[in-house]
Structure 1
Amino acid sequence: MITEDILNPHDARLEEVVLGACLAESAAVALVADKIRAEMFYEDNNREIYSALLALHHTGRPIDIITVKNELAARGKLDAVGGPFRITALSGGVASSAHLEYHALLLREKFVRRELIVGLHRRLAAAADETIDLDETLAELHRLLDHLEGEASFTDCMRDMDQLMLDTLKQMDARVANNRDGVTGIPTGLVDLDRLTAGWQQGELVIIAARPSIGKTAFGLHLALAAGRAGKHVVIYSIEMMGERLGDRCLSAWAADLNAAHLRTGQLSAGEQQQALDAATELARLPIYVDDNPKTGMDHIRSSARLLKGKGRCDCIIIDYLQLCEMKSEQKNRNREQEVAEASRKAKLMAKELDVPVILLCQLNRDCEMRADHRPALSDLRESGAIEQDADVVMLLYRPAFYGMPTERKSKYPSEGLGVVIVAKHRNGETGDVYFGHNASMTKIGEYVPPLEWMMKNAK
Structure 2
Amino acid sequence: MEKNISLPFDCDTEEVVLGVIILEKNAITMAMQYLRTEMFYYDNHQTIFATLVRMYNERRDIDIITVADELRRRNELDKVGGPFYITKLSSQVVSSAHLQSHCLIVKDLFIRREVIKGISKLLSSAQDMMVDVMDVVCDMQELASQVEKDAVKMDNLRDMETLMEDTLQLAKQRMENSVNGVTGVDTGLTDLNKMTGGWQNSELVVLAARPAVGKTMVALFLAKAAAKTGVNVLFCSIEMQGERLGDRLILMESTVNPHAWRTGLTGDQEWKEAHEAARELSTLPIKIDDNPSMSIDYIRAEARLLKNKGKCDIIFIDYLQLSDMKDHSRNNRNREQEVAIAARKSKMLAKEMNCPVILLSQLNREVESRFGNRPQLADLRESGAIEQDADIVLLLHRPAMMGQATDTETGYPAEGLGILNIAKHRNGETGNIHFSHNKSMTKICDYVPPMEWLMKHSK
Partner of 2:258: 260
Partner of 1:272: 270
Partner of 1:68: 67
Contact (CA 8 Å) 1:188, 1:227: kept in 2 or not? yes
- SS at 2:219's partner residue? helix
TM-score by length of 2: 0.92
For 2:429, the aligned partner's letter is E
**Paired residue total:** 458
Contact (CA 8 Å) 2:137, 2:301: kept in 1 or not? no
Contact (CA 8 Å) 2:434, 2:447: kept in 1 or not? yes
Aligned counterparts of 2:416 and 2:2: Cα–Cα separation in 1: 71
For 1:62, the aligned partner's letter is D
Contact (CA 8 Å) 1:438, 1:446: kept in 2 or not? yes
Aligned counterparts of 1:118 and 1:334: Cα–Cα separation in 2: 27
Partner of 2:395: 396
Deviations, residues 217-249 of structure 1 (Å, cap 9, x unaligned): 000011101111111111111001111111111
Residues 390 and 153 of structure 1, relative CA distance in 2, 3 Å threshold: same
Residues 89 and 458 of structure 1, relative CA distance in 2, 3 Å threshold: same
Aligned counterparts of 1:23 and 1:305: Cα–Cα separation in 2: 46
More displaced 10-residue stretch of structure 1: 72-81 or 369-378: 72-81
| Offset at residue 77 of structure 1 (A) | 4.9
Partner of 1:178: 177
Residues 94 and 169 of structure 1, relative CA distance in 2, 3 Å threshold: farther
For 1:315, the aligned partner's letter is D
Partner of 2:35: 36
Contact (CA 8 Å) 2:18, 2:49: kept in 1 or not? yes
- SS at 1:33's partner residue? helix
Partner of 1:197: 196
Aligned counterparts of 2:287 and 2:179: Cα–Cα separation in 1: 25
Q: 5+ unaligned residues in a row in structure 1: which ranges?
A: none
Partner of 1:326: 324
Partner of 2:312: 314
Residues 166 and 102 of structure 1, relative CA distance in 2, 3 Å threshold: farther
- SS at 2:246's partner residue? helix
For 1:404, the aligned partner's letter is G
1:425 is aligned to 2:429: no
Q: 5+ unaligned residues in a row in structure 2: which ranges?
A: none
- SS at 1:262's partner residue? helix
Aligned counterparts of 2:197 and 2:379: Cα–Cα separation in 1: 26
Aligned counterparts of 1:356 and 1:99: Cα–Cα separation in 2: 40
Partner of 2:280: 282
Partner of 2:406: 407
- SS at 1:373's partner residue? helix
Deviations, residues 83-103 of structure 1 (Å, cap 9, x unaligned): 555544543544443343343
| Offset at residue 262 of structure 1 (A) | 2.2
Residues 459 and 83 of structure 1, relative CA distance in 2, 3 Å threshold: closer
Partner of 2:371: 372
TM-score by length of 1: 0.92
Partner of 1:114: 113
Aligned counterparts of 1:94 and 1:4: Cα–Cα separation in 2: 35
Residues 98 and 303 of structure 1, relative CA distance in 2, 3 Å threshold: farther
| Offset at residue 337 of structure 1 (A) | 0.9
Residues 397 and 102 of structure 1, relative CA distance in 2, 3 Å threshold: farther
Contact (CA 8 Å) 1:297, 1:326: kept in 2 or not? yes
| Offset at residue 114 of structure 1 (A) | 2.1
Aligned counterparts of 2:394 and 2:47: Cα–Cα separation in 1: 52
More displaced 10-residue stretch of structure 1: 228-237 or 92-101: 92-101
Deviations, residues 366-396 of structure 1 (Å, cap 9, x unaligned): 1111023211111111111111111111111
Contact (CA 8 Å) 2:134, 2:298: kept in 1 or not? no
Partner of 1:454: 453
More displaced 10-residue stretch of structure 1: 151-160 or 73-82: 73-82
Partner of 2:213: 214
| Offset at residue 288 of structure 1 (A) | 1.1
Partner of 2:239: 240
Deviations, residues 431-454 of structure 1 (Å, cap 9, x unaligned): 111110111211111111222233
Contact (CA 8 Å) 1:15, 1:41: kept in 2 or not? yes
Aligned counterparts of 1:307 and 1:137: Cα–Cα separation in 2: 14
For 1:109, the aligned partner's letter is D
- SS at 1:7's partner residue? coil
Contact (CA 8 Å) 1:321, 1:360: kept in 2 or not? yes
Deviations, residues 162-202 of structure 1 (Å, cap 9, x unaligned): 22222211111111111111111111000000111111111
Aligned counterparts of 2:209 and 2:277: Cα–Cα separation in 1: 29
Partner of 1:296: 294
Aligned counterparts of 1:315 and 1:423: Cα–Cα separation in 2: 23
| Offset at residue 148 of structure 1 (A) | 4.4
Identity percentage over the alignment? 51
More displaced 10-residue stretch of structure 1: 168-177 or 56-65: 56-65
Residues 136 and 231 of structure 1, relative CA distance in 2, 3 Å threshold: closer
Aligned counterparts of 1:3 and 1:124: Cα–Cα separation in 2: 10
Aligned counterparts of 1:372 and 1:84: Cα–Cα separation in 2: 73
Aligned counterparts of 2:339 and 2:408: Cα–Cα separation in 1: 33
For 1:205, the aligned partner's letter is L
Residues 439 and 199 of structure 1, relative CA distance in 2, 3 Å threshold: same
Residues 134 and 182 of structure 1, relative CA distance in 2, 3 Å threshold: closer
More displaced 10-residue stretch of structure 1: 220-229 or 104-113: 104-113
For 1:299, the aligned partner's letter is D
Residues 135 and 372 of structure 1, relative CA distance in 2, 3 Å threshold: same
For 2:219, the aligned partner's letter is G
Residues 127 and 4 of structure 1, relative CA distance in 2, 3 Å threshold: closer
Contact (CA 8 Å) 1:24, 1:95: kept in 2 or not? no
Aligned counterparts of 1:135 and 1:185: Cα–Cα separation in 2: 32
Contact (CA 8 Å) 1:401, 1:416: kept in 2 or not? yes
Residues 103 and 170 of structure 1, relative CA distance in 2, 3 Å threshold: farther
Partner of 1:227: 226
Deviations, residues 128-186 of structure 1 (Å, cap 9, x unaligned): 55667777776666655554444444424232322222221111111111111111111
1:49 is aligned to 2:48: yes
Aligned counterparts of 1:81 and 1:424: Cα–Cα separation in 2: 56
Aligned counterparts of 1:8 and 1:313: Cα–Cα separation in 2: 38
Residues 178 and 259 of structure 1, relative CA distance in 2, 3 Å threshold: same
Contact (CA 8 Å) 1:24, 1:92: kept in 2 or not? no
Aligned counterparts of 2:101 and 2:314: Cα–Cα separation in 1: 36
Q: CA RMSD in A?
A: 2.5
Aligned counterparts of 1:458 and 1:86: Cα–Cα separation in 2: 87
Aligned counterparts of 1:132 and 1:313: Cα–Cα separation in 2: 28
For 1:238, the aligned partner's letter is S
Partner of 1:58: 57
